[in-house]
Amino acid sequence: MQAVFFDLDGTLIDSRADFVSAINQTRRAFGLAELPFGQVVVHVGEGMRRLVSRTLPEIPEQLEEAAAYAQKQYGAHLLDHTTLYPGVAEALRVLGAAGWRRALVTNKPREFIRPILQGLGVLGEFEALVGGGDTQTFKPDPAPVLLAAERLGVRDLTGSWIVGDHFTDLEVGRRLGLRRCFCRYGFGDRRGEEYDLAVDSLAEVVEYLGASSQ
């Protein structure tokens, strides 16, 4: 039984604008000037607390308060500007029809996952969801992917894939012996991690996995 473990931000959805908005609202609330778009986006991918610590370095003594504020702001505006990347819904549907088990594994706080997926019409395409807070550690630690595999009922990861745009996905794939797909169109950072496949859209994932599963 083969599975595909998908990242969320930068892989399935373009959520950059809503992250930047939440961070800059938080900076304003704490008396700080806004940051340029790219200066925020470069830090997305390792959980909300780390995002806040890197984008509000001026107030380390207020980190917990700022992180809670940013999370509340982000949660109130999850879908203001966030969209699926082109072809994502169709790719997920086709992979499911072809027999691939599909799980979502993201460092995004777990309470945001269902509202986003439901709002974008793809919640039903996943058989397991794992988000930040479901395990004590975050990707690239293997625990979130292992929990997703457990929820899928997949005991042997041989032949399974992880699909993502960030080093956290590629590193955890390496550590677990998964085949790794790097999404070049995302906004993550590969940081020198290797991959088995690089794509510019999820349609290419469907094409490759359809051929490789024959």
Which of 27, 48, 75 is the last residue before a domain boundary?
A: 75
125-172 per-position pLDDT tens digit: 999 999 999 999 999 999 999 999 999 999 999 999 999 999 999 999
Q: 7 and 44 in one domain? A: no
Residue 177: how many CB atoms within 10 A of its CB? 9
Quote the Cα angle for 41-180-201, to 5°. Answer: 60
Instruction: Tell me which of 74 and 1 has the higher pLDDT.
Output: 74
Q: Which residue range forms the structural domain that includes residue 134? A: 3-14+82-212
> Based on the domain organization, do 101 and 184 belong to the same domain?
yes
What is the rounded distance in angstroms from the CA atom of residue 172 to the CA atom of residue 176? 6
Q: Which tens digits make up the pLDDT trace of 7-23?
A: 999 999 999 999 999 99
Regarding whether 186 and 114 lie in a shared domain, the answer is yes
DSSP category for residue 30: T
107 and 62 within one domain: no
Count each helix (H run) and each strand (E run) in the chain, helices first.
Answer: 9, 8
Residues 165 and 115 in one domain: yes
Catalytic residue list contains 134:
no
102 with 178, same domain: the answer is: yes
Q: Is the pLDDT of residue 211 over 60?
A: no
pTM of the model: 0.94
pLDDT digit string (tens) for 181-190?
Answer: 999 999 999 9
Please report the pLDDT score of residue 47 as a whole number.
86
Q: What is the 8-class DSSP label of residue 154? A: -
Contacts of 133 (CB under 8 A, 6+ apart): 109, 110, 111
**Annotated catalytic residue within 7, 9, 18, 134:** 7
pLDDT at 1: 66
- Count of structural domains, the chain: 2
State pLDDT tens for residues 37-66.
999 999 998 888 999 999 999 999 999 999
Pairing outcome for strands 13-14 and 83-84 = antiparallel
